[in-house]
Amino acid sequence: MDLSLTNEQQLLQDSIRKFISTQYSLSERNKFIKEDQGYDSSNWQQFADLGWLAMTFSEEYGGLGGSTVDSMIMLEEFGKRLVVEPFLSTVVLFGAAIELAGTPQQKQSLIPSIIEGKLIGTFAYAEPVEPNNLSAIQTRATAEDSGFALNGSKSLVFNAISADKILLSARTSGEDFDEQGISLFIVDAQATGLTRTDYLTVDGLSASELQLKNVRVESDDLLGSLGSAGGLIQSLVNKGILGLAAEAIGTMEVLYKSTIEYTKQRQQFDHALADFQVLKHRMTDMFVDYNLVKSLCMKATMLEALGAAEAQRNIHALKYLVGKTGRFIGQNAVQLHGGMGMTEELAIAHYFKRLLVIDAQFGNTDHHLNKFVG
Amino acid sequence: MDLSLTNEQQLLQDSIRKFISTQYSLSERNKFIKEDQGYDSSNWQQFADLGWLAMTFSEEYGGLGGSTVDSMIMLEEFGKRLVVEPFLSTVVLFGAAIELAGTPQQKQSLIPSIIEGKLIGTFAYAEPVEPNNLSAIQTRATAEDSGFALNGSKSLVFNAISADKILLSARTSGEDFDEQGISLFIVDAQATGLTRTDYLTVDGLSASELQLKNVRVESDDLLGSLGSAGGLIQSLVNKGILGLAAEAIGTMEVLYKSTIEYTKQRQQFDHALADFQVLKHRMTDMFVDYNLVKSLCMKATMLEALGAAEAQRNIHALKYLVGKTGRFIGQNAVQLHGGMGMTEELAIAHYFKRLLVIDAQFGNTDHHLNKFVG
Amino acid sequence: MDIEFSQDDLAFQQKVVSFIKANLPRGMEMWTKRNEWFQALRDQGGWDIPKWPVEYGGPGFTPTQRYIFDLEMARHATPPQIPFGVGMLAPILMNYGSKQQIDRFMPGIRDGSVNWCQGYSEPGAGSDLANLKTKAELSEDGSYYLVNGQKTWTTLAHIAHWMFCLTRTSSAGAKQEGITFLLIPMDDPGVETRPIITLGGSHSVNEVYLTDVKVPVTNRIGEEGKGWTYAKGLLVHERTGLAGIQNSVLALEKAKANAREIKAGEGSLMDLPSFKNKVGALEAELLALEFTELRTLSQVSAGQGPGPESSILKLKGTEIQQRISELNIEAAGIYAAPWGATPIGPDFARGATSGYLGGRATTIYGGASEVQKDVIAKNVLGLG
Amino acid sequence: MDIEFSQDDLAFQQKVVSFIKANLPRGMEMWTKRNEWFQALRDQGGWDIPKWPVEYGGPGFTPTQRYIFDLEMARHATPPQIPFGVGMLAPILMNYGSKQQIDRFMPGIRDGSVNWCQGYSEPGAGSDLANLKTKAELSEDGSYYLVNGQKTWTTLAHIAHWMFCLTRTSSAGAKQEGITFLLIPMDDPGVETRPIITLGGSHSVNEVYLTDVKVPVTNRIGEEGKGWTYAKGLLVHERTGLAGIQNSVLALEKAKANAREIKAGEGSLMDLPSFKNKVGALEAELLALEFTELRTLSQVSAGQGPGPESSILKLKGTEIQQRISELNIEAAGIYAAPWGATPIGPDFARGATSGYLGGRATTIYGGASEVQKDVIAKNVLGLG
């Protein structure tokens, strides 16, 4: 057991740190989100050129053979500057799905494009009826000719606005809430019958509601086996949770540290705020809770990378703690910044909002606590 | 609406305050609990002489016609000095049961004796199988000749060691967990077939487990109507909860105030403990939480006295808060007293223990939170 | 000890409820018929100014009537009054203003034609308000003050005609001394207002820059250097008003109703153990807090000052407001993420996150909770 | 980054587990066969002194082996060692004792024949330990110290043969200076031990009165006035040992098993929402804390000192211990009330309340949680 970074991991971390410190100030970030597709394309090309997009794919298709641990290292750094490029959607979710369940043809046609930065993908799994229930799939895929016709709707699909391909769950058999009968399809984002309602999320990212009316897919757009995608969807959700958790760790670190810095500067009643014992202890609590989540994030990530059965419990516990601690740290960062914490201008507002959106995705605090206790 | 005390209530409060300040130091109290019956008989006679035992009984049987509000006033004061005499068992539970449901004969034969201090009663309602479930009654009352034979067991019967009469729930029909089919009997504490296992509770009071083997009662020992005592039992439990809550209020007040006093005296790192902001805020939290419970105790008590339907919800909420706040205040009283708080010698240890026993009775914090949210 | 209202009070309560039912605008009319509502209150004989003394047109409510009045207004979610004129400046004017000032300013406050804002907080003077630096220098001829400085968090400054303002006329002595209370017209060319967009995404507070603003001495309330004394009493009053307990009662009922509409497994979100318990714990405390307000009222009715328990109302009340807003984002689930005007997900979800974020202010403004606890520890518990 | 143990470490783990299974006394033998257990550890080549250096007979574990060893010992709930001799005094002796002192005292510590107690805390010196007042005056001829004062919370003083003791030899300078480390025989006529009965009802701590005790200078460790330096390192060490994380893992499993036996409505207490959620929240934090300990270990293995995250172990570990003990009294329900030896209610309920009460000490002794937070704020976060 050795929890220090390998040399390769250290290099990876350094390269991201260098990138964000030179090219990714918060004000630049807030410009990137205003671009049409919700991020900066030249950044994305740099991600590709630096090999970051290749990191977790198998060598056979041009990847570097890394694991979820490498994603964690990258996303933790991204979280420190609220990086908006669609890494989670394209690599951690869409890309991993192809890697895990694609046919050789699917892999060959998609993975190299992702690695080169030419293909943006995303994952549409939630539906309005019960978004946290992965089996609550009312979108129907009806077999016809050599393919399927898709009808239904999907909620909170991040980066759909810029996506080339959307991985989408649909029901090929069974009743609305059955665990069985769910399949995954790779859908062209420009497909006829697919309409989007685009909106911004609280943290300034782009998401969409999707409506599908007789959207046509071919049988080789099916990912994995017909009617039994449940396990794969759960795996992807797990990867999504781990990715968000890593990002949240980075985000929380910035929040608690900048709160410490602020309170050292800010004077009140003739003392620095940092001199007040109650505030010192509050920041200590923030530090303690941050470290607990960080530990669990490392543990759950490594267990998932090993394919250990106990990963699942740890992931539920992790998402619960990420939500709870994110809110605790965010709220107290705002509280300790006083009035300043209430303004849109200040960095901490953006960090806090990102944590709220992270909590909302893939089931929030409450949802995972209940899953964890069974 | 007027929440101040009436003149009569003020006089009652004053008389109790005078009594405990002159005759009921904590060291005297710790002697009283060592007497055979677990309290001091001459105190009990004084309670009678001062009219306290008469307060809540109807004037027809020699009482003073007061209500649960008067009990609250008395028990809050008792709670400030951890009074051990069996007021709750005899007056609030046993006595109220007779007053609520007794025949004129039963009332005449029992209430005047209680008022004179000649009769100690108690209430045995909990059974080992599921003590918090008032319908979980496995003790059976089998009709025979002109009466019944009782068989079964009861748990945590306070003051059974000194009781003359025990009010006892038993099943006269139905299955073990049925709500219907439960009856109440007034059992002679010396009855043949009734055996006790006596023990002390955490707070130094006396309680017993009861075993009943063919204990004979006559049909006029039945209290209320046959097989439908559920409502009456719930009413008594409510009165018990209100009584304990009032006591707890008094107990918590002493704890938070003595913690304030202690921290003003005690020096650490060249400052009084009370100078540390974290401790100041902790004591403020104790004060705030104390006041919330006190408010709810007043409200629930007055609603119960009025017979208002909403009393029940408020009583569940109250018992929940009493348990939660009692633990919070007790724990922090100990924590802020540091090592001293850990010794048996110090008063706060006894106050804290009393709060723990109060939480354990009539369903604890968790139980009532679940009842409250339904 | 008696929890029931008297027959007279019950009759008054009935009267208030009937009035509300007859006059309260519904739905979107809440915004368009606001003025009609306040006119109707006015027509009742000062119901728009329930706290003003009778000699200024107030209705002369007893403390219990005031409580009942406030209770029913809150229960029925009637439109809130902008507090700066009626609630904040008026009492100071009545107590400390000259006859001339009263005659000049009270009518506009009374009929709602003049909007006021409060110029207290500054970048370096938030919870520590007495630390304010905005300078007012008396001119040589003694006819005006030259005011320079910056105010911040100034609510509704952008629609105000006037600002009542704390300024520093002397730096000698304790911080609380040398503060002077001035009335400043917002259309003075030296007054510049810049919006602050807050976390919840809305614009209601502002920065106000004061540059060489000439304020005639006739716009000074009371004596020079005594401004802190005039403002202080009001600050305490502002704090108890922020508890918003009846609003919380309504908000919690709504939160529960919303959660019942959210499907979760076999039942609704309200059946999910963790959510249900949070609701229960919160509701129990809110029941207790509600009655704590009544205890305070009862003492005032009995002619005593509010007891120590009144100090907990703002502290606990704002905490509960925030916890309810957390329930809303939890109930919204993924639909807590969308931002802005596009309707996505259930109706209540639209405002959930901005409500939650905006509500973070309640434990910061009007005395941060940490400062409130310092004050309770010192003034109520005698600590330090 | 790799979460798996190496093959060598796994083999070591196997060896430890096999040893425990072969030698651990069961049930009541835990008390009667304690000595045999420690002898078996000794026979393994210093497994009774896993932290000692090889030259003193220690087993020379790597940091990972130490972790695995501690982990399996905790997982199997092996009998705890009394820490004062082996864990606390021995490292000080090895570092600062004279050759003569080492030769004289180490053997009794090593073979467990001499019991030690720790004379640090005093009535006026708890969390603020450097405030100690027990006076040691050097005799005119410089041959002995005359010791007078009072120690308190002295664990197991009533069965100790010796006490290692901090005394004050000078009041000049900072409080931390002028403290001298002495070894005092408990059978000296000037030493009087009085029991303290603690909340949980048990006797393990004592007051120790020292009256004109003559301690030869040969019983002084190191230099006069340097006692604080010698003791300080150990205090930190004592604190991390108090986290008891593996004990908490076991205790939580037991608490859950007990709750499953308690009927509540249709199911067990574990189905009751409020209880279930408390268990879940606690377990999630415990999972996280467990791995935090591994992070610390990993850094030590990598040759770095423990990182800042190690500071949270005692703080959070003791909090979790207390919360588990609360679960136990909640699960015991009415049977949390009976006290003493009579068996009433389910087996686990018997010790629930005394365990809960006794456990309140964990956040007070060895650095109260409030002091721990002061220390983390200052030393780790650079605050104040």
| Residues C152 and C119: beta-carbon distance below 8 Å | no
Asked if the C-beta of C127 comes within 8 angstroms of chain B's C-beta atoms, the answer is no
**C9, C277, C295: residue with CB nearest B369:** C277
What chain A residue is nearest to D313 in terms of C-alpha separation?
Answer: A288
Residues of C in Cβ contact (< 8 Å) with A279: 370
CA distance B352 to chain D (A): 9
Summarised one tens digit per residue, pLDDT across range B34-72 is 999 999 999 999 999 999 999 999 999 999 999 999 999
**What's the CA gap between C67 and C81, in Å, rounded?**
17
User: Which regions of chain D are under pLDDT 70?
Assistant: 233-242
Give the contacts of C3 (CB within 8 A, at least 6 positions apart).
B1, B3, B299, B302, B303, B306
What chain C residue is nearest to A345 in terms of C-alpha separation?
Answer: C197
> C374 vs B280: CB contact, 8 Å cut-off?
yes
Summarised one tens digit per residue, pLDDT across range B257-278 is 999 999 999 988 889 999 999 9
B79 φψ region: left (φ > 0), alpha (ψ -120 to 50), beta (else): alpha
**A201, A338, A339: residue with CB nearest C339:** A201
Count A/B contacts: CB-CB distance under 8 Å: 8
What chain D residue is nearest to C272 in terms of C-alpha separation?
Answer: D273
Q: What is the DSSP letter of B119?
A: -
Q: What is the CA radius of gyration of chain D?
A: 22
Mutation target vs B (from C5, C8, C287, C292; most B CBs, 10 A cutoff): C287
**What's the CA gap between D282 and D81, in Å, rounded?**
28
**B3, B281, B288: residue with CB nearest C294:** B3
**C277, C302, C384: residue with CB nearest B373:** C277
Residues of C in Cβ contact (< 8 Å) with D274: 273, 277, 280
Summarised one tens digit per residue, pLDDT across range B19-38 is 999 999 999 999 999 999 99
What chain A residue is nearest to D369 in terms of C-alpha separation?
Answer: A281
Mutation target vs D (from A9, A263, A284; most D CBs, 10 A cutoff): A284
- Choice among D72, D122, D224, D238 that is catalytic: D238
Residues of D in Cβ contact (< 8 Å) with B267: 124
**What residues of chain C have any CB closer than 8 angstroms to a CB in chain D?**
273-274, 276-277, 280
Residue that is written with structure tokens 């470490």 in the block: D9
Asked if the C-beta of C360 comes within 8 angstroms of chain A's C-beta atoms, the answer is yes
Residues of B in Cβ contact (< 8 Å) with A268: none
In chain D, DSSP assigns E strands to: 116-119, 135-138, 144-151, 162-168, 179-185, 191-197, 203-216, 220-221, 263-264, 267-268
Asked if the C-beta of D309 comes within 8 angstroms of chain B's C-beta atoms, the answer is no
> Catalytic: D293?
no
Q: What are phi and psi of A226, to 5 degrees?
A: -70, 130
Give the contacts of A208 (CB within 8 A, at least 6 positions apart).
A157, A160, A161, A196, A197, A198, A199
**What's the CA gap between C126 and A126, in Å, rounded?**
44
Same fold, A7-86 and A122-228: no
What chain A residue is nearest to D383 in terms of C-alpha separation?
Answer: A274
Asked if the C-beta of A303 comes within 8 angstroms of chain D's C-beta atoms, the answer is yes
3-state secondary structure C15-78: HHHHHHHHHCCCCCHHHHCHHHHHHHHHHCCCCCCCCCCHHHCCCCCCHHHHHHHHHHHHHCCC
Residue A238: which of A164, A311, A290 has the closest Cα? A311
Residues of D in Cβ contact (< 8 Å) with C284: none
Query: Which helix (DSSP H) or strand (DSSP E) does residue B340 occupy?
Result: none
Q: What is the CA radius of gyration of chain A?
A: 21
Query: Which helix (DSSP H) or strand (DSSP E) does residue C7 occupy?
Result: helix C7-23
pLDDT (0 to 100) of residue D297? 81
Summarised one tens digit per residue, pLDDT across range A85-132 is 999 999 999 999 999 999 999 999 999 999 999 999 999 999 999 999
pLDDT (0 to 100) of residue D190? 97
Q: Return the domain boundaries, chain A.
A: 7-86, 122-228, 231-373
Topology of domain A231-373, per CATH?
A: Butyryl-CoA Dehydrogenase, subunit A; domain 3 (1.20.140)
Residue B156 has pLDDT above 60, yes or no: yes
**What's the CA gap between B83 and B74, in Å, rounded?**
11
Q: What Cα–Cα distance (Å) separates residue C29 from each residue in A263, C34, C44, C47, C350?
A: 45, 8, 21, 20, 20
Mutation target vs B (from A277, A281, A285; most B CBs, 10 A cutoff): A277
**Partner chains of B (3+ C-beta pairs under 8 Å):** A, C, D
Residue B210 has pLDDT above 90, yes or no: yes
**Can you give the pLDDT of all 374 residues of chain A as single tens digits?**
788 899 999 999 999 999 999 999 999 999 999 999 999 999 999 999 999 999 999 999 999 999 999 999 999 999 999 999 999 999 999 999 999 999 999 999 999 999 999 999 999 999 999 999 999 999 999 999 889 999 999 999 999 999 999 999 999 999 999 999 999 999 999 999 999 999 999 999 999 999 999 999 999 999 999 999 999 999 999 999 999 999 999 999 999 999 999 999 998 888 999 999 999 999 999 999 999 999 999 999 999 999 999 999 999 999 999 999 999 999 999 999 988 888 887 899 999 999 999 999 999 999 999 999 98
Residue B83 has pLDDT above 80, yes or no: yes
Residues of A in Cβ contact (< 8 Å) with D285: 292, 321
CA distance A177 to chain B (A): 27
**Can you give the pLDDT of all 384 residues of chain C as single tens digits?**
888 889 999 999 999 999 999 999 887 777 788 889 999 999 999 999 998 999 999 999 998 898 899 889 988 889 888 889 998 999 999 999 999 999 999 999 998 899 999 999 999 888 888 999 999 999 999 999 999 999 999 999 999 999 999 999 999 989 999 999 999 999 999 999 999 988 888 889 999 999 999 999 999 999 999 999 998 866 655 545 668 898 999 999 999 999 999 999 889 999 998 899 999 999 999 999 999 988 888 887 777 777 777 789 999 999 999 999 999 999 999 999 999 878 899 999 988 999 999 999 989 887 899 999 999 999 999 997
Q: What is the mean pLDDT of residues B102-127?
A: 98
Residues of D in Cβ contact (< 8 Å) with B352: 199, 357
The alpha carbon dihedral of A228, A234, A237, A238 has a sign of: negative
Count A/C contacts: CB-CB distance under 8 Å: 135
Asked if the C-beta of A317 comes within 8 angstroms of chain D's C-beta atoms, the answer is yes
**CATH homologous superfamily of domain B7-86?**
Acyl-CoA dehydrogenase/oxidase, N-terminal domain (1.10.540.10)
What chain C residue is nearest to A265 in terms of C-alpha separation?
Answer: C124
- Tell me the β-bridge partners of C122: C125
The alpha carbon dihedral of B131, B137, B139, B141 has a sign of: positive
**Partner chains of C (3+ C-beta pairs under 8 Å):** A, B, D
Topology of domain A122-228, per CATH?
A: Butyryl-CoA Dehydrogenase, subunit A; domain 2 (2.40.110)
**D9, D277, D381: residue with CB nearest A369:** D277
**D279, D283, D288: residue with CB nearest A293:** D288
| Residues A263 and A272: beta-carbon distance below 8 Å | yes
What chain A residue is nearest to C370 in terms of C-alpha separation?
Answer: A278
Summarised one tens digit per residue, pLDDT across range A225-273 is 999 999 999 999 999 999 999 999 999 999 999 999 999 999 888 899 9
Residues of C in Cβ contact (< 8 Å) with D280: 274
**What's the CA gap between A103 and A100, in Å, rounded?**
9
- Taking each continuous run of H as one helix and of E as one strand, the counts in chain C are 13, 10
**C292, C370, C373: residue with CB nearest B291:** C292
